[in-house]
Amino acid sequence: MSQPFWLWWTTVEGKRRGHAPDFLVLLDDGTADGAVLVLDSRPLELIAETDRAAFEATDRACVLLNWRYAVWDRMDGVANQKWLAAHRHPRCYNDPVAARLAEVFAQPRPLMEGAELAGDPLGTLPVLYHLLWTRRLLADLALVLSDRTIVRTAPTADRAYELVPVTQGDRNG
């Protein structure tokens, strides 16, 4: 939930201050009550002293309520690429699975939905990630890659997939 509440307090100087945290997340942690996470999102280098005071007040209030609190800096700009790079090796590729994934993602759909439609995700996900790495499947990698990421077949992916053998001298494969 975005900006779920306002927190008001009086500073030691007697000034009235307020802060609306950026997000409130209800977590399914397996307990009957669940858990609450309150988040503020700000690049660490942009946190001014007034922000720091607001974040500290929010943290103290969350402790009193037995809630969790965190300040989220930002996603690692290359986190998705690091994940996909782990699947770049040809061992992650399988012709029949790749063909099925290209067929399934001809209609854009969430990543996990397509992986399940193509077969057992244990077998389809490595191939799916390999195809994202090689750009035969496309997704918006500026956003966190998740099971809900919308994936589609690349416009040129209707051609037959073929593996190009990686030679010892080729360090990019």
pLDDT for the residue 164: 47
Q: Cα(89)–Cα(117) distance, rounded to whole angstroms?
A: 24
* Gyration radius of the chain's alpha carbons: 23
Higher pLDDT, 72 or 114: 114
Q: Cα(140)–Cα(138) distance, rounded to whole angstroms?
A: 7
**Confidence grade of residue 78 (pLDDT, cut at 50, 70, 90):** confident
Q: Note whether 136 and 154 are within 8 A (CB).
A: yes
**Confidence grade of residue 73 (pLDDT, cut at 50, 70, 90):** confident
Q: Which residues contact 17 (CB under 8 A, 6 or more apart)?
A: 8, 9, 10, 11, 53, 54, 57
Task: Say which DSSP state 24 is in.
Answer: E
For residue 134, which of 79, 75, 81, 78 has the smallest C-alpha distance?
81
Q: Dump pLDDT digits (tens) for 116-161.
A: 999 999 999 999 999 999 999 999 988 889 999 999 999 874 444 4
**Confidence grade of residue 45 (pLDDT, cut at 50, 70, 90):** confident
* pLDDT surpassing 80 at residue 29: no
* pLDDT surpassing 60 at residue 40: yes
Question: How far is C-alpha 124 from the chain's CA centre?
Answer: 19
* pLDDT surpassing 80 at residue 168: no
Higher pLDDT, 2 or 51: 51
For residue 69, which of 84, 56, 59 has the smallest C-alpha distance?
59
* pLDDT surpassing 90 at residue 108: yes
Q: Cα(105)–Cα(148) distance, rounded to whole angstroms?
A: 13
Q: Note whether 150 and 109 are within 8 A (CB).
A: yes
pLDDT for the residue 39: 93
* pLDDT surpassing 90 at residue 111: yes
What is the token pair recorded at 68? Answer: 């969790």
Higher pLDDT, 33 or 166: 33
> Strand, helix or coil at 150?
strand
Higher pLDDT, 109 or 72: 109
pTM over 0.75: no
